[in-house]
């Protein structure tokens, strides 16, 4: 069953990616959902195409997408869609963004697909079957200490209201880790962690569509996810901590001191 779901999701993210690349680098209208939260016509067109593909194949399934699509039903299946993660990057022609589709079954994330159309990299995972990049298995890194780790993070949309809170944590990790990156697309950060390109990641206040698909990919690649206290990770929560598992406790220590 999940094989059919995965095929549909892969086709849908690539369709969304084609739309994004059509408009990428071109003058487009940009709207503000918040002070620093953007949306473009490309977001909306990508979402419309993805939702249409999924709904036509699974008309009874539930759907929630970042730009407002909500479809409720009694089905145990919920598709969680981000048609463009990294909209600010996209609006500035900065080539770091992705399309993300996760599938939740009876409250558990069971499948994830994240597609980077710039690099033509498609990260996939199905519960119990491992994670892949363009069909080839991937696994988290073997880095065993925080001082040798490359981390990534992002800042929430309320960063102008609470800069000290987020910068204090950034400074704390900067002192402990080998280096930190801030690419601006959480889905890509988490997939890079799953592929061993990064060793750890933290961020406040991500939305379900930012982490739903990538959380499955990280888990199936051998990674570890939790909240900032080490509790069970929840895509509907406000704290995302992910690692290769080997540096997780050290990252929790930093979070406990600063938090």
Report pLDDT digits (tens) over 68-109: 778 888 999 999 999 999 988 998 999 999 999 999 999 999
Are domains 2-138 and 146-258 of this chain identical in fold? no
| pLDDT value, residue 41 | 81
The DSSP secondary-structure symbol of 258 reads H
Domain boundaries, the chain: 2-138, 146-258
**Which sign does the torsion angle of CA 226, 251, 179, 165 carry?**
positive
Residue 36 CA: distances (Å) to CA of 30, 43, 155, 200, 223 = 11, 16, 11, 25, 31
Query: How far is it, in rounded angstroms, from Cα 235 to Cα 232?
Result: 10
Average pLDDT over residues 142-167: 86
Query: How far is it, in rounded angstroms, from Cα 28 to Cα 25?
Result: 9
The DSSP secondary-structure symbol of 135 reads T
Q: How many CB atoms lie within 10 A of CB 86?
A: 24
Query: How far is it, in rounded angstroms, from Cα 248 to Cα 145?
Result: 9
What pLDDT, in 10s, does the model give residues 4-41?
999 999 999 999 999 999 988 876 665 555 444 455 78
Compute and round to an integer the Cα radius of gyration of the chain: 17
- Whether the per-residue pLDDT at 49 is higher than 80: the answer is yes
Let me know if 74 is exposed, middle or buried by CB neighbors in 10 A (0-12, 13-18, 19+): exposed
**Confidence band for 237, pLDDT divided at 50, 70 and 90:** very high
Query: Which segments of the chain does DSSP mark as H helices, in order?
Result: 2-23, 41-57, 87-91, 163-176, 186-194, 208-220, 248-258
Lowest mean pLDDT among 73-82, 112-121, 162-171: 162-171
- At the topology level, CATH places domain 146-258 in D-Maltodextrin-Binding Protein; domain 2 (3.40.190)
What are the residues whose beta carbons fall under 8 Å from the beta carbon of 34, sequence distance 6 or more?
Answer: 157
Q: How many CB atoms lie within 10 A of CB 228?
A: 20
**Mean of pLDDT over the chain:** 92
CATH class as words, domain 2-138:
alpha beta
- Whether the per-residue pLDDT at 259 is higher than 70: the answer is no
68 in Cβ contact with 15 (< 8 Å)? no
- Whether the per-residue pLDDT at 206 is higher than 90: the answer is yes
What pLDDT, in 10s, does the model give residues 53-66?
999 999 999 999 98
């Amino acid at each position: 069953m999940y094989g059919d779901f995965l095929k549909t999701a892969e086709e849908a993210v690539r369709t969304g990616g084609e739309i994004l690349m059509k408009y990428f680098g071109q003058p487009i209208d940009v709207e503000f959902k918040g002070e620093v939260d953007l949306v473009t016509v490309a977001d909306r067109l990508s979402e419309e195409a993805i939702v249409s593909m999924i709904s036509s194949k699974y008309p009874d399934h539930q759907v929630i997408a970042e730009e407002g699509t909500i479809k409720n039903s009694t089905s145990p299946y919920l598709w969680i869609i981000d048609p463009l993660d990294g909209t600010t990057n996209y609006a500035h022609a900065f080539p770091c963004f992705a399309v993300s589709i996760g599938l939740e079954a009876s409250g558990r994330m069971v499948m994830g697909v994240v597609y980077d159309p710039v690099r033509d990299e498609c990260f996939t995972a199905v519960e119990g079957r491992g994670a892949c990049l363009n069909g080839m298995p991937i696994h988290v890194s073997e880095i065993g200490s925080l001082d040798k780790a490359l981390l990534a993070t992002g800042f929430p949309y309320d960063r102008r209201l609470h800069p000290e809170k987020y910068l204090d944590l950034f400074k704390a990790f900067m002192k402990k880790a080998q280096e930190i990156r801030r690419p601006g697309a959480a889905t890509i950060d988490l997939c890079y962690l799953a592929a061993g390109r990064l060793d750890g990641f933290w961020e406040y206040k991500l939305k379900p569509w930012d982490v739903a698909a990538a959380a499955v990919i990280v888990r199936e690649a051998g990674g570890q996810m939790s909240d900032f206290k080490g509790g069970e990770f929840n895509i509907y929560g406000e704290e995302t901590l992910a690692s290769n598992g080997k540096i997780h406790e050290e990252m929790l220590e930093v979070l406990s001191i600063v938090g």
